[in-house]
């Protein structure tokens, strides 16, 4: 058992991140470690699950339990883990392509099932690991990819709106340039007793150098947060996607969470309509 209290750097593994210089994901990783230190978590009570992509490398960089899964399947893997080991704090990490495209269906149902997971999506509006293709959150006129030389022309996926419509009880947006804010939101998401979704605007300077300008346009939602879904919906739809903060936190008690061990997995799987 790791000795408490731990400092943020104590949660980092000895594996050096292979992210490009200037990648926003470095700050997100630092923020995750700050949140864990703030909450006084031991390494043994934390597990991080991911899918595939640059951001999905995060479990290797955290000195906790970790599982680097397959593309788009981080949430069902994490759900199974939480049902089997409800004593663990289960974090889920991934990117916009992994989470909103191939994993889109799992995103909807994770919001709806309200299992106690904290899902951090590092959203850079691009598939970085496969060298820069349009993702569900890419602006329609983004024309840097040879696959979409005139832009995709498609409406962007609105993660916060989809999460709200699918029943998520905790929805936040952060920016990698404000790591203390990310840490605050991740800590709040972990403490929220149900599914928590945190979209982090995390620039990919390699394939989208224009995203370095995000620091000039992000600002806080005022006031925040709300527990009224209608108000949250209005905020989300009137916003340009660059307002940050805890957008919505439901005051409805989340459904009963698994509290016992492996013996209850089948019963909970049935209850959670898995």
Q: Considering the complex, what minimum distance in angstroms separates the CB of residue 123 from ligand SF4?
A: 10
Q: Return the residue of 119, 197, 207, 248 that touches ligand SF4, per CB under 6 A.
A: 207
Please enumerate in sequence order all residues whose Cβ is within 8 A of that of 151, keeping only pairs 6 or more positions apart, or say none: 139, 140, 141, 142, 143
Of the candidates 81, 86, 79, the residue with the CA atom closest to the CA atom of residue 113: 79
CB of 131 to ligand SF4, least distance (A): 8
Which secondary-structure segment (H or E) carries 58? Answer: helix 58-61
| Tokens representing residue 225 in the block | 């947060």
Count the Cβ atoms, other than its own, within 10 Å of residue 130: 12
Interaction mask 11-40, ligand SF4, x per CB under 6 A: --------xx--x-x---------------
- The values of phi and psi at residue 8, to 5°, are -50, -40
Binding mask 116-145 for ligand SF4 (x = CB under 6 A): --------x---xx----------------
Give the shortest CB-19-to-ligand SF4 separation in angstroms: 4
Q: How far is the CB of 16 from ligand SF4 (least distance, A)?
A: 13
Largest CA distance in the chain: 55
Residue indicated by tokens 């029943």: 167
User: Which residues have C-beta within 8 Å of that of residue 209, sequence separation ≥ 6?
Assistant: none
- Residues 133, 145, 148, 206: which binds ligand SF4 (CB under 6 A)? 206
Tokens for 266, please give them. Answer: 């089948």
By CB under 6 A, name the one of 58, 171, 185, 204 that touches ligand SF4: 204
205 forms part of the interface with ligand SF4 (CB under 6 A): yes
Q: Shortest distance, CB of residue 205 to ligand SF4, whole angstroms?
A: 5
> In the complex, which residues of this chain contact ligand SF4 (CB under 6 A)?
19-20, 23, 25, 54, 124, 128-129, 204-207
């Amino acid at each position: 058992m790791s000795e408490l209290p731990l400092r943020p750097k104590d949660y980092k593994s000895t594996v050096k991140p292979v992210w490009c210089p200037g990648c926003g994901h470095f700050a997100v990783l630092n923020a995750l470690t700050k949140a864990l230190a703030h909450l006084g978590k031991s390494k043994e009570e934390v597990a991080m699950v991911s899918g595939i992509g640059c951001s999905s490398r995060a479990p290797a960089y955290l000195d906790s339990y970790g599982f680097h899964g397959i593309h788009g399947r981080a949430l069902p893997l994490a759900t199974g883990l939480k049902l089997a080991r409800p004593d663990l704090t289960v974090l889920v990490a991934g990117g916009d392509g992994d989470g909103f495209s191939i994993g889109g269906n799992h995103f909807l149902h994770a919001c709806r099932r309200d299992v106690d997971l904290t899902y951090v999506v590092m959203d850079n509006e691009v598939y970085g690991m496969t060298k820069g293709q349009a993702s569900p959150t890419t602006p329609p006129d983004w024309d840097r990819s040879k696959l979409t030389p005139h832009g995709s022309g498609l409406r962007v996926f609105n993660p916060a709106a989809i999460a709200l419509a699918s029943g998520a009880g905790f929805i936040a947006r952060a920016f990698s340039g404000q790591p203390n804010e990310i840490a605050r939101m991740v800590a709040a998401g972990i403490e929220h007793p149900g599914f928590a979704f945190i979209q982090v605007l995390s620039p990919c300077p390699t394939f989208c150098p224009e995203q370095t300008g995000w620091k000039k346009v992000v600002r806080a939602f005022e006031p925040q947060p709300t527990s009224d879904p209608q108000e949250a919906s209005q905020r989300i739809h009137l916003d340009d996607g660059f307002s940050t903060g805890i957008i919505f936190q439901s005051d409805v008690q989340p459904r009963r969470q698994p509290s016992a061990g492996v013996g209850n997995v089948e019963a909970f799987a049935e209850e959670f309509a898995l």
